Amino acid sequence: MSLDDLEADVETAYADIDEGLDGALDEETKRELTMLDAALDPEEPEDLVRRAVHLLFQSTVESGKLDFHLRSAYDVTYDEYLSGMTFDEMTGNAFPQDQQKDDRRYQF
């Protein structure tokens, strides 16, 4: 195969994506998707979109970004969501000092 073959495959994939995908994509996304389509040759372009979502999800979980956003919005982590209980519920930890005033706490 040659550069000309690649260019032809990319152009074909670009046309297929315009016709086949539901939803609007910007120009940059279409070009990147067509390059991946030509290089990886999936059954359907939608397979690449599914892979992309899986990779984004995995990298977001592994980097801690998902937990950060979940903690910010819902005050739970992904592990807590999967287990169905918060960390405090799992460990039995409750911090009564939040309600109690302990003047000795910082004394040496």
pLDDT of residue 21: 66
CA distance 24 to 22: 7
For the chain, what are the domain ranges? 1-41, 45-92
pLDDT of residue 104: 53
pLDDT of residue 64: 94
Once rounded to an integer, what is the mean pLDDT over residues 27-53? 86
In 1-108, DSSP assigns E strands to none
User: Between residues 108 and 53, which one has the greater pLDDT?
Assistant: 53
What is the DSSP-derived secondary structure letter of residue 35? H
Tens of pLDDT, residue by residue over 51-90, are 998 999 999 999 999 999 988 888 888 888 888 888 777 7
| Chain centre distance of CA 38 | 24
62-93: b (≥16 Cβ within 10 Å) or e:
eeeebbeebeeeeeebeebeeeeeeeeeeeee
User: Between residues 47 and 103, which one has the greater pLDDT?
Assistant: 47
